[in-house]
Amino acid sequence: MHLEHDPAMRDAQRSAPDPTAELRKADATRHRRVTADGLAARFGGRWVEVSGGPESRASDREAATAAALTEGHDFIWGATLPRDPRSGRRGTIDLLVRSGAGYVPVLVVRHKVTDPGTGARTSPLAELDHVGGRPDSARKVRPQPRDQLRLAHTRRLLQAAGFADERSAFAGVIGMDGDAVVWHDLQAPTWPGGRTALAEYDSRFADRIAVATAAATGTPALAEPSRIVECRSCPWWPVCEDALVKTRDVSLVVRGEDAGMLRSAGVTSVDALAGIDPYDTDVPLVGMPVADAVGLARAWLADLTVVRRTQTIDVPRADVEVDVDMESFGDAGAYLWGVLLSGADIGEPRGYRAFVSWEPLPTDDEARSFAEFWRWLTGARKAAADRGLTFRAYCYNELAENRWLLASAKRFAGFPGVPRKREITQFIESDEWFDLFGSVREHFLCSQGKGLKTIAPVAGFAWRDPEAGGENSMRWYRDAVGLDGDEPVLPQRTRLLEYNEDDVRATAALRAWMTSPAVHDIPYVGDI
Ligand code: SF4
């Protein structure tokens, strides 16, 4: 809010849009379109769409929405509400549903809005105009605060335009499953401290207006940068990073809440944090032990990317070793499982191989490549066991691999060669599956993050492709399979395979280095 309203920032350099976020946005747009088309077909003449084309001006869309509201259509899709000159509010909403003498807002989102349980108020889509719904015996609400705040914003706009249903403050969300509307009562005390969604929204809105006004008028700033997880995908990061480095801000080495706690304790800079005796301080941190925070501050000052957190380093090895890396495309599927076999002979060629589907996701061909991968892995484990050899498969940050191992078994249950979920769970929980990320977290402090692309170069590994990275791989995938209906670009397939191969070679290099004497060249945190 501050940067966007500070006139001095008008020409400031910003980061390019985050490709992963862009992908998610495109997926969400598609999801909304499919939902709208289904509802339009269901409700026929009761449904009107006012969104206009991509070229239409906001003022035209506002006028079209105002006309649709006045005409009293039952369902208005793609509304741009008339802006409220008194508050400065403006905004769009997916759907307005006629209710009493006014309207209620409904959002269409591509995330889960309920969990199994009871107590949510829902209406089936066929009864979309049954505002407030009835208690659902199979679902409980996932609060999704951002959804509720967006709905509260629209309610205030509707009130300003004189089109709110003042008998109640219900607002709906149609989630990823798209089979029902979940109704939130924006006046119910469901927020922390017994606040309502509307009260929370009003207070945040007032805060934002104050921040924006201070920025626009040049009075002392009411907001300052502090590094948080969201900075990674924020376009303002170049500006904020510059400011944080200038003041050597403590958030450069600890994140979010911990930076706030340190500032409250008077520790505002990396230098001050580095000077703390971790064994003689009562500064409480939630994200990491104080000793690690101090170690990271000292590493940052010494310009070290990585320091050893422990005197000795232990990574379990095996006679037969396999490094595994999976490539997925958003939530659409896992199209590539790459493996690198090394160690004792088990009658299989050593080296890299890939199990891949080049049919654009989503596709059942993914079941075929997943089944082939699983058959190979199971075969390698058995071949090692038959020879009396120990076996271990390694990955880097098992969250992604585990998610897709389990999801693939579930989605493709019954396809030839696809294992049961129980079989996957047994493997994941066994000693034969090892997450190297856990070892890095245990044994190192990394001032630039613990991603494989950061830590493997410390072990002497380099990717062949200078642009290798998860975000770029998404773009390459689009081209490789012709996702947008274009001709597939075959060299991008080679590029993805080399990228995946280098990822598994990186984990192999990392564990070899972590179990070699060379790892002791990395300074121990107690010595800096
Ligand atoms: S880069 Fe981080 S601190 Fe700066 S505006 Fe974005 S989220 Fe806020």
The protein residue with its alpha carbon nearest to ligand 1, atom 2, reads 231
| pLDDT surpasses 90 at 422 | yes
How many Å lie between the centroid of ligand 1 and the Cα of residue 236? 6
From 236, 307, 292, select the one nearest 262 (Cα to Cα). 292
Angle ∠(393,397,399) on CA atoms, nearest 5? 100
Q: Which atom of ligand 1 is nearest to the CA of 226?
A: 3
Radius of gyration for the alpha carbons in the chain, expressed in angstroms and rounded: 27
How many Å lie between the centroid of ligand 1 and the Cα of residue 233? 9
| pLDDT surpasses 80 at 20 | no
Residues near ligand 1 (Cβ within 6 A) = 3, 225-226, 228, 230-231, 234, 236-237, 240
Sheet strands (E) in 40-150 = 47-49, 75-84, 89-99, 102-108, 114-116, 121-124, 134-135, 139-141
Rounded to 10 degrees, what is the CA torsion of 498, 369, 470, 442? -100
Q: Which of 312-316, 407-411, 473-477 has the lowest mean pLDDT?
A: 473-477
How many Å lie between the centroid of ligand 1 and the Cα of residue 1? 10
Determine which helix (DSSP H) or strand (DSSP E) holds 343, and give its type and residue range.
strand 333-343
The protein residue with its alpha carbon nearest to ligand 1, atom 7, reads 231
Q: What is the mean pLDDT of residues 434-447?
A: 95
The protein residue with its alpha carbon nearest to ligand 1, atom 5, reads 236
Which of 5, 224, 230 has most ligand 1 atoms within 8 Å of its beta carbon, as the pocket-test mutant?
A: 230
Q: Which atom of ligand 1 is nearest to the CA of 3?
A: 5
How many Å lie between the centroid of ligand 1 and the Cα of residue 99? 40
| pLDDT surpasses 70 at 54 | no
Residue 463: helix, strand or coil by DSSP? coil
Instruction: Write out pLDDT tens, residues 506-519.
Output: 999 999 999 999 99
How many Å lie between the centroid of ligand 1 and the Cα of residue 228? 7
Helix, strand, coil content of the chain in percent (nearest 5):
45, 20, 35
**pLDDT value at residue 332:** 84
How many Å lie between the centroid of ligand 1 and the Cα of residue 231? 5
- Kindly give, in sequence order, each residue whose CB lies less than 8 Å from that of residue 500, ignoring residues fewer than 6 positions away: 325, 327, 336, 338, 354
Q: Which atom of ligand 1 is nearest to the CA of 237?
A: 1
From 205, 184, 54, select the one nearest 109 (Cα to Cα). 184
What is the separation of C-alpha 313 from the centre of its chain, rounded to a whole number of angstroms? Answer: 31
Q: Which atom of ligand 1 is nearest to the CA of 234?
A: 6
pTM, rounded to two decimals: 0.75
Instruction: Write out pLDDT tens, residues 184-231.
Output: 999 999 999 999 999 999 999 999 999 999 999 999 999 999 999 889
How many Å lie between the centroid of ligand 1 and the Cα of residue 12? 14
How many Å lie between the centroid of ligand 1 and the Cα of residue 369? 41
The protein residue with its alpha carbon nearest to ligand 1, atom 3, reads 225
How many Å lie between the centroid of ligand 1 and the Cα of residue 50? 34
Which of 18, 222, 240 has most ligand 1 atoms within 8 Å of its beta carbon, as the pocket-test mutant?
A: 240
Instruction: Write out pLDDT tens, residues 446-503.
Output: 988 899 999 999 999 999 998 888 878 888 998 999 987 789 999 999 999 999 999 9
**Separation of alpha carbons 266 and 275, rounded Å:** 12
Q: Which domains does the chain have, with CATH numbers?
A: 2-205 (no CATH), 229-303 (no CATH), 320-521 (3.30.420.10)
Instruction: Write out pLDDT tens, residues 335-389.
Output: 999 999 999 999 999 999 999 999 999 899 999 999 999 999 999 999 999 999 9
